[in-house]
Amino acid sequence: MRCVACGAEMILVNVVQIQDDTTAGAGVEDHHFMCSECHEVERHLVPTRHGREIDTAPPIVPASAVQGEHIAALLRRMVAKIRGQ
């Protein structure tokens, strides 16, 4: 998925299960994405047919870890520019 603001790749940073008692076996997940460049955050509601088991869900990277990686990359680029590389 691409960021609407800058076109960079979006990273899935959180998934929240939304309980819906009106439909048997179906539900909705709230997916939070963060842009890898401009750090814009988007949320998408995604319908699920059968609830996910906690064990089978893909690992979710906390937003703070993603932000830390981007800050480190930014600092490396700044140091490289200062050194004239």
Between residues 15 and 48, the one the model is more confident about: 15
Say whether pLDDT at 72 is over 60.
yes
Question: pLDDT averaged over the chain?
Answer: 78
* Mean pLDDT on 8-29: 77
Instruction: Report the distance separating Cα 24 and Cα 26, nearest Å.
Output: 6
**Domain residue ranges of the chain, discontinuous segments joined by +:** 10-82
pTM: 0.52
Question: Which tens digits make up the pLDDT trace of 34-56?
Answer: 998 898 999 988 887 665 554 45
